[in-house]
Amino acid sequence: MTDTTDGKQAGRKSATRRRQVAALPWRADPVEGLQILLVSSRETRRWVIPKGWPMKSKGDAQAAAQEAYEEAGLDGRIASRRIGEYPYLKRLKSGVARRVTVDVYPLEVTGEHATWPEKGQRTLKWMSPVEAALAVQEPDLRELIARFAKVELPAEERPAPAPAPTPMRVALTRLRRRITVLWGRRRRWP
């Protein structure tokens, strides 16, 4: 698969589906210095950056900026070149887990909307680069944030990342909760 000049990917359709685009929202606060915005994922509530599938009508950088608006209500200047990539396991609607590679584009935030499409579905938090890097679970995203912010993560502050829950683990957790609820109801019956 190759990148074309406008940032869109060329190649097989199935290969394109396994690549996402993301915005790394940042701002330079006069008091706090450089800050990174993280959003919570909808299902597992872990800290991530706004990301989604490429869009046919937009280049990859513009699609990443669109995701930042939809997930966090952000406006800003998106870089035309990606700063890196990271892999993660994406659980599809079918329940199948697929390895997806995410291309990351820095987004200098210039405005925040009061309302946006996914408001109320996610939590947003501005963090220092070190806090943001340590908050994400994906090791490659952690390193990408630290490299972008030009910060060194001390070894003692680098806990082993907790593995993201696999679709099977999520399904088993839900099943365990249902069984517990049903078992509790059954025990109360005469």
pLDDT tens per residue across span 140-158:
999 999 999 999 887 755 5
Domain span at residue 129? 2-159
Is 174 within the bounds of a domain?
Answer: no
Nearest to 79 by CA among 106, 110, 109, 111: 106
Is 177 within the bounds of a domain?
Answer: no
Q: Where are the beta strands (DSSP E) in 32-190?
A: 33-40, 47-48, 51-52, 74-78, 84-91, 97-112, 124-127
Report the domain count for the chain.
1
**Averaged pLDDT for residues 30-57:** 93
φ and ψ of 132, to 5 deg:
-65, -45
Cβ contact 144:38 at 8 Å: no
Is 98 within the bounds of a domain?
Answer: yes
CATH number at residue 132: 3.90.79.10
14 contacts: CB under 8 Å, gap ≥ 6: none
Report the pLDDT value the prediction gives residue 81, as an integer from 0 to 100. Answer: 96
Is 77 within the bounds of a domain?
Answer: yes
Is 167 within the bounds of a domain?
Answer: no
Q: Which of 2-6, 17-21, 46-50, 103-107 is predicted with the least confidence, judged by mean pLDDT?
A: 2-6
Query: For residue 105, how many other CB atoms are within 10 A of its CB?
Result: 26
Is 171 within the bounds of a domain?
Answer: no
Is 189 within the bounds of a domain?
Answer: no
Is 173 within the bounds of a domain?
Answer: no
